[in-house]
Amino acid sequence: MDVEIYRIGTIAVVFVLVAMLQVYLCKRESRKAGLILPALSFIASILAVIGIIIYSMLPNLVSVLFTALQVLIFMNIPTVILMGIYIAYHGRRIEAA
C-alpha cells in the first residue's frame, strides 16, 4: 500500500513539473516553443499505437484496432492538456494586445 502512495505522488510531481515546463515554454518569445511538449506527447502516442499494431498477439484484426484506438485515446490525454495550456496562454495574450 505504501508503494502505491509513492507511485501516485511521483506521478503527480512529474505532471506538475511538466505543466510548469509547458507554461515556461509558452511564456517564451517564440510561439513555437510552446508546441514542443504537445508534439512530443503526440509522437509518443503514435509510436505506442505502431508498437501495438506491430507486436500485437491479439487473435484478430478487430481486437488489434480496438486496442490501438484505446491506447491512442489514452495516450493523447497529456497532449490535450498541454495544448489546453498553450491555447489558454496565447488566448489571453491575444486579448491583451
Q: Where are the domains of the chain?
A: 2-96
Helices marked H in the chain? 2-27, 36-55, 61-75, 77-96
Q: Is-contact 79 36, C-beta < 8 A?
A: no
Question: What local confidence, expressed as pLDDT, does residue 53 receive?
Answer: 87
Question: What local confidence, expressed as pLDDT, does residue 92 receive?
Answer: 58
Among 28, 31, 44, which residue's Cα sits nearest to residue 79?
44
CB crowding 3-22: b at 16 or more within 10 Å, else e = eeeeeeeeeeeeeeebeeeb
Question: What local confidence, expressed as pLDDT, does residue 95 receive?
Answer: 47
Residue pLDDT tens, the chain, 97 long:
678 889 999 999 999 999 999 999 999 888 899 999 999 999 999 999 999 988 888 788 888 889 999 999 999 999 999 999 999 988 755 444 4
Q: Is-contact 93 26, C-beta < 8 A?
A: no
